[in-house]
Structure 1
């Protein structure tokens, strides 16, 4: 290690500490409090928000669903237009952060699909009249009720995942705070949604998002902030200017000056603090710098079910859900809903604390979620090769 360079173990442990993954100190915090302190949680129809809130504050699914129904938290198109679970205090900022992506999507449809802005605005007016603030309508119901105001976009639209003008108008209404998408059954890990009328302000400066980001993710780099926010170089530079960031020796990583003293005095805890997280948890996703969460001795571990010799240290994103200890990745895990059990591969010997963390997560998934789906097309069938590979891995008992 070069003179003055920050040890990797300290960086990992600090990130875990700032992410409230250091031994259950924040049990009893609300979903909104967790998200405000540790960052917006990526959704996308998977279990990541539930797993992250359980790991940080012991929150059960019913508590998270109740917070969603009470508008204490909400799934919104935020940074880069991606879906995140946000606390109420950040609704306006999140919507402002995602507005540019919605405009980009609409602009592409205008150029490539023969859509006009006028017809989308007219459809927005029609949908606004149809949407109720209390009774959600599915996209299929809106398609029927909007009648000729919705126009199919043919094969070209289907190839781009936009079969009609309806999703473009709904996206615009959501980005303007005039509609919100809610899960039909109240669960974030299912993919059936309805739409409600809404009326929320949309405002926030680029510097506001930068300040939030570096409170959650620092030490982090300008490149990582740009990847999260979607900002161009000039916008990012202007957003960071008021923050008084200081550089960590020997790295490209920056830290707000008000955290510099705390970071300097921080030491790696002597006791392990295990947590089971989704692959898209903010511990990784805020920076997408997986190699810094991997101990060098684990870099050459094979990716489960890989047919091409992939290894963990060369991955951009986690290949499975993760077991972590003080920020270090110490295992892979997935859930088998047919056998109703958690399957894992550990990089460290089993001890009482690790066993307790595994059992707690397994019980939570079995009793509250039924499965631990990743976002997208994940299913028990698609997961079968990973489950087989994890079961075949050597045990560290």
Structure 2
């Protein structure tokens, strides 16, 4: 299959070919897919690259609960539109249940204990009327929440409180809100979610899986069953039933596309002129498939990673830096240098006016509205310095 056509199609379906200017944040996420959140700038970069949405508009949509950061596919946090809250929570519900089961098995925790703690949490947040941060909750809950000691820390669960919070979030009873209203700081408080987005929702596992598949292939198709399984975290049998339950056409090599889009795809031709976008390393254009090689030309796949020169870019599961795309092809890597307040890059193609304009626009957005472009909550000016140096020194 023509990779230039595939990349161009994915690029367009992701809203990156012709920006969706004037589109509300919730509509962008509905049309192009949920945005992965890990305490970095990806949600803002996602909305800006696709629709020119500024930080204030994104933060306002969060405050109005038109969009919300929720544990969803694979139990991972994504930014979802309101109409997908129920399916997102249902899709991610297995993760906190698995964490509880592991705690019961290894950490001498009981389900009854966590149920009692959950009731105490709901009472505390209801009484407070304002978002309670984890320390606020610990102060109010007293002995109801207990430390799990060294054994818990080794398993990444320091106390019983995260277990209760995870279950309450997945049940749609508790909502996590950013304390300062920003999506890139990972400082949260908790409030009651009334009414719950799961109230009256049909959460039959097969129906949830089919609904998730329907959304996924609209965002990411043509995609394979393996791609869908990566995104959803579903087992083989459940994923196969979900795919069989919706109307998909195999375009060859197991690449599935909603049948209603097949005619449009067949008529589509890859654009002749460059169309650039600067996106995050976990942008949906990559992470919906998590198949980096499909976005790399063979010569670029053979390039050494700027952070690990012994490894080829084509051998990596995830990009080492933020991405520069042209019609869906990775044509460069970038990072923001908070010291100079400039974007630094390694380009795989000559810089033309369009590419320079895209870089200047994104740089201005970061400087004026975000202050920095962190890849994740663990990212900092110090930890990023190696990447900045590598990109600055690249030929």
TM-score range (shorter-chain normalised) is over 0.9
Match of 2:284 in 1: 282
Q: Secondary structure of the equivalent of 2:332?
A: strand
Q: 2:219 pairs with 210, 213, 216, which one?
A: 216
Q: Secondary structure of the equivalent of 1:243?
A: coil
Match of 1:3 in 2: none
Match of 2:132 in 1: 137
Match of 2:376 in 1: 375
Match of 2:87 in 1: 93
Superposition TM-score, scaled by structure 1 size: 0.95
Match of 1:9 in 2: 4
Aligned 8 A contact 2:334 2:345 in 1: yes
Aligned runs of 1:1-397 on 2, under 5 Å?
Answer: 6-24=1-19, 26-132=20-126, 134-199=129-194, 200-202=196-198, 203=201, 204=203, 205-249=208-252, 251-306=253-308, 308-394=309-395
In 2: Cα distance, 1:186 partner to 1:201 partner = 21
Q: CA deviation at 1:48?
A: 0.5
Q: Secondary structure of the equivalent of 1:219?
A: coil
Superposition TM-score, scaled by structure 2 size: 0.96
Give the ranges of 4+ consecutive aligned residues of structure 1 lying more than 4 Å apart after TM superposition. none
Aligned 8 A contact 1:23 1:274 in 2: no
Q: CA deviation at 1:314?
A: 1.3
Aligned 8 A contact 1:284 1:290 in 2: yes
Deviations 1:138-196 (A, max 9, x none): 00110110111111101011111211100000111100101111111111000211111
- Gaps of at least 5 residues in structure 2 are none
In 2: Cα distance, 1:74 partner to 1:134 partner = 19
Q: CA deviation at 1:134?
A: 4.8
Aligned 8 A contact 2:249 2:256 in 1: yes
RMSD: 1.1
In 2: Cα distance, 1:130 partner to 1:235 partner = 38
Aligned length: 386
In 2: Cα distance, 1:101 partner to 1:230 partner = 10
In 2: Cα distance, 1:156 partner to 1:376 partner = 25
Deviations 1:327-351 (A, max 9, x none): 0000000001111111111111111
Q: CA deviation at 1:239?
A: 1.0
In 1: Cα distance, 2:151 partner to 2:32 partner = 41
Q: Secondary structure of the equivalent of 1:29?
A: coil
Q: Secondary structure of the equivalent of 1:303?
A: coil
In 2: Cα distance, 1:302 partner to 1:363 partner = 29
Aligned 8 A contact 1:345 1:391 in 2: yes
Aligned 8 A contact 1:373 1:379 in 2: yes
Aligned 8 A contact 1:153 1:164 in 2: yes
In 2: Cα distance, 1:134 partner to 1:311 partner = 52
In 2: Cα distance, 1:164 partner to 1:174 partner = 17
